[in-house]
């Protein structure tokens, strides 16, 4: 039974946080911590995330504290349940970016990039495989009305066109993040969809 609540409304989610220090980059590059962060997209307790990930709460507290310490997640609600303080956490922003100058200041930047990309894409790969096994994704469905999309492509764009593409995608993501936040309150049983997005210039040798 909840005896007391110190927060009744969740604060507005920041649109983006740029990682500017090497230690935070190391923290977010850990695959388990990335999974934990994704689980906190909606406000949840450590107990909730323990059930979602199938990992004991005692093994999560260290990682949760690290994520909170580096402002990657934040407490959005505190309740006293049967005399015990229960915290709900949520990610601190809808998106996280890396300062373009950061990798030039860290030791072994190639390894840092490898760790970060592996954490992101390995996590997405595992979720996609589980969804395929649960028949939530049908790779044989070629219709325009399928539930998910798996696409890899390259686009020949001018700098101006690329900037326009990023602006349009950012606007769409902001719109649907707002809809998802509304569903947290009005339609919490709505299906959850994963999104892994990468848009970057491709290196090509001059003779290619």
Q: What is the pLDDT tens value at each position of the chain, 208 positions in all? A: 334 444 447 778 888 888 888 888 888 888 889 889 988 988 999 999 999 889 999 999 999 999 999 999 999 998 887 888 889 999 999 888 888 777 666 666 677 777 777 777 777 787 888 888 888 888 777 666 666 777 778 899 999 999 999 999 989 988 887 888 788 778 878 888 888 888 888 887 775 5
Tell me the CA distances in angstroms from 203 to 6, 91, 100, 154, 174, one per residue in order: 51, 33, 17, 12, 29
The CATH number of whichever domain residue 35 belongs to comes to 1.10.10.10
pTM for this one? 0.61
- If one counts the domains in the chain, the total is 1
- Is 113 part of a structural domain of the chain? yes
Domain coverage including residue 55: 2-139
Predicted confidence at residue 123, as pLDDT, reads: 73
Q: Which of 29, 199, 40 lies closest to 120, judged by CA?
A: 29
Give domain status of residue 104, yes or no.
Answer: yes
Task: Kindly report the backbone phi and psi dihedral angles of residue 52, in degrees, each rounded to the nearest multiple of 5, phi listed first.
Answer: -65, -45
Query: Does some domain include residue 144?
Result: no
Within a domain: 119: yes
Look over the chain and give the mean of its residue pLDDT values, rounded to a whole number: 82
First to last CA, the chain: 66
Tell me, what's the pLDDT at 115?
72
Neighbours of 105 (CB within 10 A): 11
Q: Examine residue 148 and state whether it is found in any structural domain, yes or no.
A: no
Predicted local confidence at residue 144, as pLDDT? 61
pLDDT of residue 142: 64
* Domain presence at residue 186: no
In a domain, 65, yes or no: yes
Residue with tokens 């990657």: 72
Number of Cβ within 10 Å of residue 87's Cβ equals: 17
Alpha carbon distance 51, 152 (integer Å): 33
Distance (Å) of CA 70 to CA 25, 137, 205? 10, 35, 39
Predicted local confidence at residue 143, as pLDDT: 67
Digit-coded pLDDT (tens) for 26-84: 888 888 898 899 889 889 999 999 998 899 999 999 999 999 999 999 999 988 878 88
Q: Is residue 199 part of a domain?
A: no
Give the containing element (helix H, strand E) for 5: strand 2-5
């Amino acid at each position: 039974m909840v005896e007391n609540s110190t927060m009744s409304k969740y604060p507005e989610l920041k649109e983006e946080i740029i990682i500017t220090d090497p230690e935070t980059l190391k923290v977010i590059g850990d695959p388990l911590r990335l999974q934990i962060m994704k689980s906190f997209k909606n406000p949840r307790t450590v107990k909730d995330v323990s059930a979602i990930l199938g990992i004991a709460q005692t093994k999560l507290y260290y990682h949760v504290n690290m994520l909170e310490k580096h402002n990657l997640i934040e407490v959005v609600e505190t309740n006293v349940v049967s005399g015990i303080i229960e915290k709900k956490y949520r990610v601190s922003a809808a998106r996280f970016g890396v300062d373009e100058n950061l990798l030039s200041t860290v030791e072994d930047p190639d390894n840092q990039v490898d760790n970060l990309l592996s954490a992101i894409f390995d996590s997405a790969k595992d979720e996609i495989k589980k969804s395929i096994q649960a028949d939530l994704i049908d790779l044989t469905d070629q219709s325009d009305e399928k539930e998910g999309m798996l696409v890899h492509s390259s686009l020949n764009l001018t700098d101006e066109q690329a900037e326009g593409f990023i602006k349009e995608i950012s606007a769409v993501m902001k719109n649907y993040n707002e809809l998802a936040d509304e569903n947290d309150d009005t339609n919490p049983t709505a299906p959850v969809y994963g999104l892994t997005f990468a848009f970057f210039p491709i290196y090509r040798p001059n003779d290619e």
